[in-house]
Chains A and B, each alone.
Chain A
Amino acid sequence: MNDVSVLIGGKAGDGINSAGAMVARLLGRMGYQIYLYFDYPSLIRGGHNFAVIRGAETSIGTCHENVDFLLALNQETVQRHRDQLNPGASIVFNADLVKGEGQGVPVTSILHEEQAPAIMGNSALIGGFAKSAGIPWETVESVFRSQIPRGIDQNLKVARRAYDQLATVNPIESYNRPGLPLLSGNEAIGLGLARGGLEAYVSYPMTPSSSLLHFLAEEKEKLGLTVVHPENEIAVVLMALGFAYAGKRSAVGTSGGGFCLMTEGLSLAGMAELPLVFVVSQRTGPSTGLPTYTGQTELQFVLHAGQGEFPRLIVAPGDAEEALYWSAVAMNTAWKFQVPAFILPDKTLSEGTYSVGNDRIPPVKREDPVAVDLGYRYKRYADNPTGISPLEYPGAKDAAVKVNSYAHDDAGFTTEEAEMVDLMTRKRLRKWEGLIMEMEKYPVVNSSGPAGARTAILCWGSTKGACREVAGNLGLKLVQPVVLSPFPMTALNAALDGVKTVICVEENATAQLATLAGMHGITIHKKILKYDGRPFTYESLLARVQEALS
């Protein structure tokens, strides 16, 4: 078996997410590349949670509809997912709570024999799964030792008892290669921002962005960060702009609802020419919507948010490797052009876990502006052919560094003079032109598939995972713009050269990328849209694409 899917389910509070992470590590150590999808309702206790962990030989970013292993912590898991079993699938379950066919693990008696607390019950299930899949005990022990901070010996004893009691019924292949690091999309964004020089992260909790706040707060000492959780999203964006004005690279994170409150700050960033990275992780809207489910509904929002006209960079990475790379690029570019930049993931990417090959990620080096030391002659908005003014911060000798939300002159003083307003508007828009040229240096559009393919799937963001596999198996071209502003006209036209039929796949109801592409003269022939909060699986997308092709 070289494409393995495991579903682990239980009720909220059962630790499904961390148990799923253990299964992912086990498969990772067997040399598989991983994608983990975590499905949970917006509540703290009760309700049904499940994680699907898939391992494959090559890089993946989507799940199958059916699974080869079902790990059930409760009866509901069996009931809900029994129709999703592949032939020969193995069911490993807590025999105290679940009635059914398969491999029961007597969790209560194991815990009793080891005098272990109830919280270690998942270790028994994982031990049982490992044996069922034929994963060597040494691998189990090594993953436990790296993952469990406390009570490791007792956890291992619990896992071992279950391991010894079960049989290997569904052996999985080992690739005999070192496991790759596993990162959630949000962790990848955090590390990418750090690579781009992040010094301050400011955020108010909102799913699915919160795990980025948690990750950076946890790692702030190692990464040399200030992490602030202020009173609301309005304070978030204004504080971050304060950091930027004082010369510190900052980012903010939220979802659509929180971003609504940030739009006045976004417009200020545009007018005051302050660099700032916005991470807007999309979930199902409108309004509170489905807080813990996915959507690709904010592309048009972030494209147009904020009053007035100013340049902005928008990148929508498709997986964790792209998230790491493009987050660093976004930070660097924001500072190079003194513009706001967006990273636009969704719940699927933010909270999904991926194998990350660091050597597959192009290097990004932080680039710093050179101090100009002009003293009292310093002008914060000095005009020049690029429109990018020399950057100084308060503390610069003899300078008055003045930034302003009003229309201003080159020194930052408020003005209402028509000529100056005209000049400064053109200065800001000149940065747009520079940004378009700058982005030509980057792989702004991913494309793959046969050179002569007449049909292409066009997608953006996390749907890349499902689209890439479907396109690959149907012999179609896959075209995925990563940069969405400035719109990558040249690269996109090149990628679509010779294509007669473009099928646009999006997880929204109004085809936002198709609309954007249409505005730039690209014809979309068919649209495949999904807006129930659940991401496409390989099979669900395959069926829709085949339908579109017929």
Chain B
Amino acid sequence: MTGRTLITDIQNTWCPGCGNFSIQHTLKNILADLEKEGRSLDDVVLVSGIGCHAKIADYLNINSFYSLHGRTIPVATGIKLANPRLTVICCCGDGDCYAEGLDHLLFAAKRNLDITVVVHNNRVYGLTTGQYTPTSPLGFRGKSTPLGTEEFPFNPLELMLASGATYVARGYTKKMDQLKSLIRGGIDHHGFSFIDTLQICATFFPAADYYTPRVYDLADHDPARFMDACTRAREWDYNGDAKIPLGVFYRARFPTFDDRMAQKEMDQDHRDAAVGAILASRT
């Protein structure tokens, strides 16, 4: 136990009522639990993209890589392959990893890389002051679409199930106990964990009145059954008026990319000798 203060003294600049507070608080509690269980927070790394969500890298007092818009996941991939002992948590935004960096998200799921991806899905660009994102509903009026969008949103859960993620969950920032168990479940899962987190944007998309009456817990669902997971993931399409299930949709054990790619450490003397041997074989 290090006695590490988990929250830094950096001034917090999220808007009052922002859903990011709930995610930060949840992660802080999870980190505190990990430490109580005897795990060293020295071995935890947080990777964030760019956007309101990403400020969490400044606010949590752990190792962090505050990367580029959309690029949390390739950074996290490099970190995890470099040192598989590290617990790597990605905090991404919906514009961040469903738009700019969607390819990386799909590939990390395809590879079943053992990292945990928490998407702060407020379904709007906040830091750039209110444009639609890939999960905004059809007709969303943002600054770049003043007359409303002309495209349907993605269902990120379907994308993840199709791509090979082995832990697929959805949480909601106004259900913090559940959110904590979902993220913690993702961290404990050995494989690619994805938690789409419905989040309020207090300024540009204050959708609590939409979410709160619609959300319910996936109590009667067996997450080991892939086809059931697909069906339940389609109950709500991020657009229409439907009940919104929360919980773990899918969970499965498969070999991970980092396990498959594991490379024995080699000291430089051995590497230099190998260079010499390769040269000698080329006459």
Contacts and interface: CB of A to CB of B under 8 A. Distances in A.
Interface of A: 25, 28-29, 146, 178-183, 191, 194-195, 197-200, 202, 219-220, 222-226, 228, 230-232, 234-236, 238-248, 250, 264-265, 268, 272, 356, 358, 366, 376, 393-406, 408, 412-414
Given A194-B271, A224-B270, A238 B68 contact: yes
Interface stretch (B16-24, B78-86, B185-193): B78-86
Interface stretch (B56-64, B173-181, B245-253): B56-64
Residue in B43, B44, B66 whose Cβ sees the most chain A Cβ within 10 Å: B66
28 contacts: A29-B283, A181-B281, A182-B282, A194-B274, A200-B82, A219-B278, A224-B271, A228-B261, A230-B107, A231-B107, A239-B81, A241-B75, A242-B80, A244-B78, A268-B67, A268-B68, A358-B279, A394-B79, A395-B43, A398-B2, A399-B63, A402-B64, A403-B66, A404-B57, A408-B66, A413-B8, A414-B10, A414-B66
Nearest to A267: B68
Given A230-B74, A241-B75, A395-B42, A28 B283 contact: yes
Contacts of B104: 231, 234-235, 238
Nearest to A394: B63
Range for the number of chain B residues in contact with chain A: 35 or more
A243 B68 CA distance: 16
B279 A413 contact: no
A182 B271 contact: no
B64 A395 contact: no
B74 A239 contact: yes
Contact of A243 (B66, B82, B86, B278): B82
Given A236-B74, A242-B82, 7 more contacts: A182-B283, A197-B268, A200-B81, A245-B65, A247-B83, A402-B66, A408-B66
A273 B104 CA distance: 23
Nearest to B50: A405
Question: Interface residues of A: mostly helix, strand, loop or mixed?
Answer: mixed
A414 B52 CA distance: 13
A531 B71 CA distance: 37
Contact of B58 (A180, A396, A413): A413
B219 interface: no
B78 A405 contact: no
A245 B271 contact: no
A58 B89 CA distance: 57
Interface string B202-239: 00000000000000000000000000000000000000
B261 A226 contact: yes
B274 to A, nearest CB: 5
Contacts of B58: 413-414
B81 to A, nearest CB: 6
A402 B63 contact: yes
B150 interface: no
A239 B77 contact: yes
Nearest to B100: A234
Interface of B: 2, 4, 8, 10, 42-45, 47, 50, 55, 57-58, 61-68, 71, 74-83, 85-86, 103-104, 107, 261, 263-266, 268, 270-272, 274-283
B238 to A, nearest CB: 25
A319 to B, nearest CB: 15
B83 A395 contact: yes
Contacts of A403: 64-66
B280 A181 contact: yes
B78 A191 contact: no
A130 B281 CA distance: 22
Contact of A181 (B8, B62, B265, B279): B279
Contact of A178 (B2, B79, B81, B283): B283
A481 to B, nearest CB: 26
Contacts of A247: 82-83
B104 to A, nearest CB: 6
Nearest to A219: B278
B274 A222 contact: yes
Contact of B66 (A195, A358, A404): A404
A202 B61 contact: no
Contacts of B50: 405
B283 A179 contact: yes
Nearest to B60: A400
Kindly list the 6 A-B residue pairs having the minimum CB-CB distance in the complex, ordered from nearest: A242-B78, A224-B266, A246-B82, A238-B74, A181-B282, A239-B78
Contacts of A400: 4, 61-64
Given A238-B67, A402-B66, A246 B282 contact: no
A394 B43 contact: yes
Given A242-B77, A402-B63, A366 B268 contact: yes
Contact of B271 (A223, A239, A396, A408): A223
B73 to A, nearest CB: 8
A238 B71 contact: yes
A227 B11 CA distance: 41
Contacts of B77: 228, 230, 235, 239, 242
Contact of B4 (A182, A264, A376): A376
Contacts of A199: 82
B127 to A, nearest CB: 12
B103 A235 contact: yes
A358 B67 CA distance: 41
Contacts of A224: 263-266, 270-271, 274
A400 B9 CA distance: 14
Most chain B CB neighbours (cut-off 10 Å) among A194, A402, A414: A402
B121 to A, nearest CB: 22
A268 B8 CA distance: 24
Contact of B81 (A191, A197, A243, A268): A243
B11 to A, nearest CB: 10
A439 B97 CA distance: 41
A402 B58 CA distance: 9
Given A180-B283, A402-B57, A223 B71 contact: no
Contacts of B278: 191, 219, 222
B75 A242 contact: yes
Nearest to A358: B279
Contacts of B57: 402, 404
A194 B86 CA distance: 25
Contacts of A198: 271
A535 B270 CA distance: 38
Which interface residue of A240, A247, A397, A403 has the most chain B CB atoms within 10 A? A403
A241 B42 CA distance: 20
A399 B8 contact: no
B10 A413 contact: yes
A198 B204 CA distance: 47
* Most chain A C-beta atoms within 10 Å of own C-beta, residue among B63, B85, B264, B278: B63
